[in-house]
Structure 1
Amino acid sequence: MINKIRTLVVDDEALARRGLIVRLQDFPQVELLDECQSARQALEKIIELKPDLVFLDIQMPGMNGFELLREVQARGAPLPLVIFVTAYDNYAIKAFDVRAIDYLLKPVDHERIARSLKRIENSLAQREQNTQQQRILNLLADATGEDCEAILKRLASGEDIGMARYPEHIAIKESGEITRVAINSIEWVDAAGDYMCIHACNETHILRRTMKELEEELNPKRFQRIHRSAIVNLEHVEKLCSRQNGEYHLVLKNGKELKVSRSYKDRIKKLILTS
């Protein structure tokens, strides 16, 4: 069930506006936000009120209906759904070229408005469904570490989407003791032969496990490989620096510098810019 259709009426003729508004009062799903007597006035109202729907006249002095929609886009504002209402039928093809939902000829009767509003309700319902699906995809992406496109491909192929749960702590056995290290506190990890050094809170812990095994336990949204033998926690990264020789280094918040290999450089740059 969608909310009321927040609506704006735009027409330079006062009688035409009033006639349409009177007819719209017969439809309880319509919430009239305002009426505008010019495209310039409508431009400001569309940006301010962000209506779901605009009943829009085409021929108006100063700026016509098509020019109004182009100006809304140029301002970076979201385009509302549009039903053109005009006395001329020669604009119909152009109206649908700008993805108008409907094209009504004056004078408009009750039945024709009803059919148009049904289309609007269907369009808004589809938009809401798409929005909900995107929210779910984003949640899945956060939980699994995969991007939305990869998740969609897996769903299309019938695969199950596993909700990966990454541990909050890692148990490290050292000198007969087991230390629980908080995952969030890990700043970086580097390999040394057949074991790894876990650097966290100014301490270094020795973990006898392969880099690949550890990488599978770490959330890829947070931990990224920067070298064949190094993983970094992006939340502990202060900046990415380039050197004159073309090398890149990550500088952590504790001042530690870590070299980024060429094969991981572009991915790390992108993650740093978007995180």
Structure 2
Amino acid sequence: MDNSTVPLRVLIVDDEPLARSNIAVLLARDAGIQLVGQCGSAEDALEAIAAVKPDLVFLDVEMPECDGFEMLDRLGLSPPFAIIFVTAHHQFALRAFEVGAVDYLMKPFDDQRFQRMLERVKERIRIPGETRRFIVKNGNILHVVKYAEIDWIEASDYYSTLHSGERTHMLRRSLVDLESLLTPYGFCRIHRSAIVNLDRIRALEICKEGEYEIVLEGSQRLRMSRRYRKPILDRLG
């Protein structure tokens, strides 16, 4: 079946019943949406996510006891669903995109604005992974870095460094987190502190004692750990 005809499974997480109801009413107008649950707390949401496996979650930022960001932290690796953060405050916008949100909905919102946002998000979810992107802040500039533009990613303590040609961008996400997120989109771990975009590999060079080096399109050379050699070779075919 063409996945464009399969309804998106949506979960709403908000501690305010009226807010949940408003979103549910608007979603009910879209035949391409299947509402699979509504949760009033992060605790309920964590159970629901495991049970209903949503494609898309409307997630309130500010909830008592455990907010939206804390809930995602408790999920561990990058969640297998898209996220729309819902809040009344602009200051959470950058952090929302840093943790991988596909969009950000400001309260209060009208029907037209909600519909435009939903159509935009549906398109992003349906299109191939090469169009996905990170939003990275550098000073007063927000850089848009598409997955397909990244050559490789390097662990940098609690951050990761995205290498894209001659440019580098610091992202506040762990390498383990990014590996989980990017593996379906053509990225692979090559040693404990680096992930590479397989489409950027130009050659594998056998060095002394049978060790391999990966040569990227821009002539950058990266060491490949023996532990990751077979997965890389298998994925390269």
TM-score (norm: length of structure 2): 0.53
Deviations 1:187-225 (A, max 9, x none): xxxxxxxxxxxxxxxxxxxxxxxxxxxxxxxxxxxxxxx
Q: Give the equivalent residue in structure 1 for 2:63.
A: 60
Deviations 1:248-269 (A, max 9, x none): xxxxxxxxxxxxxx945999x7
Q: Give the equivalent residue in structure 1 for 2:108.
A: 107
| Cα pair 1:8 1:54 within 8 Å, conserved | yes
How many Å separate the matches in 2 of 1:50 and 1:81? Answer: 11
How many Å separate the matches in 2 of 1:105 and 1:52? Answer: 21
RMSD over aligned CA atoms reads 3.8
Q: 1:25 aligns with which of 20, 28, 41?
A: 28
The residue identity in structure 1 corresponding to 2:49 is I
Q: Give the equivalent residue in structure 2 for 1:168.
A: none
Moved over 6 A (4+): 271-275
Q: What is the 5 A alignment of 1:232-251?
A: none
The residue identity in structure 2 corresponding to 1:94 is R
Q: What is the 5 A alignment of 1:199-238?
A: none
Deviations 1:137-193 (A, max 9, x none): 9xxxxxxxxxx94x7757xxxxxxxxxxxxxxxxxxxxxxxxxxxxxxxxxxxxxxx
| Structure with the greater alpha carbon radius of gyration | 1
How many Å separate the matches in 1 of 2:211 and 2:71? Answer: 45
| Cα pair 1:53 1:80 within 8 Å, conserved | yes
Deviations 1:9-41 (A, max 9, x none): 000011111111011111111110100000111
| Cα pair 2:11 2:35 within 8 Å, conserved | yes
How many Å separate the matches in 1 of 2:211 and 2:74? Answer: 40
Equivalent pairs: percent with the same residue?
37
TM-score (norm: length of structure 1): 0.47
Deviations 1:112-140 (A, max 9, x none): 2222222222222224789xxx99x9xxx
Report how many residues are paired. Answer: 157
How many Å separate the matches in 1 of 2:228 and 2:17? Answer: 54
| Cα pair 2:72 2:79 within 8 Å, conserved | no
Deviations 1:222-244 (A, max 9, x none): xxxxxxxxxxxxxxxxxxxxxxx
Shift in alpha-carbon separation, 1:116–1:264, aligned structure 2, 3 A:
same
1:101 Cα shift?
Answer: 1.7
Does structure 1 residue 4 correspond to structure 2 residue 7?
yes
Q: What is the 5 A alignment of 1:87-102?
A: 87-102=88-103
The residue identity in structure 2 corresponding to 1:123 is R
How many Å separate the matches in 2 of 1:57 and 1:272? Answer: 42
1:69 Cα shift?
Answer: 1.3
Shift in alpha-carbon separation, 1:103–1:271, aligned structure 2, 3 A:
closer
SS at structure 1 position matched to 2:36: strand
How many Å separate the matches in 2 of 1:32 and 1:120? Answer: 16
The residue identity in structure 2 corresponding to 1:91 is F
Structure 2 gap ranges (5+): 132-182, 187-196, 203-207, 213-223
Q: Give the equivalent residue in structure 2 for 1:43.
A: 46
Structure 1 gap ranges (5+): 138-147, 155-261
How many Å separate the matches in 2 of 1:27 and 1:263? Answer: 60
SS at structure 1 position matched to 2:89: coil
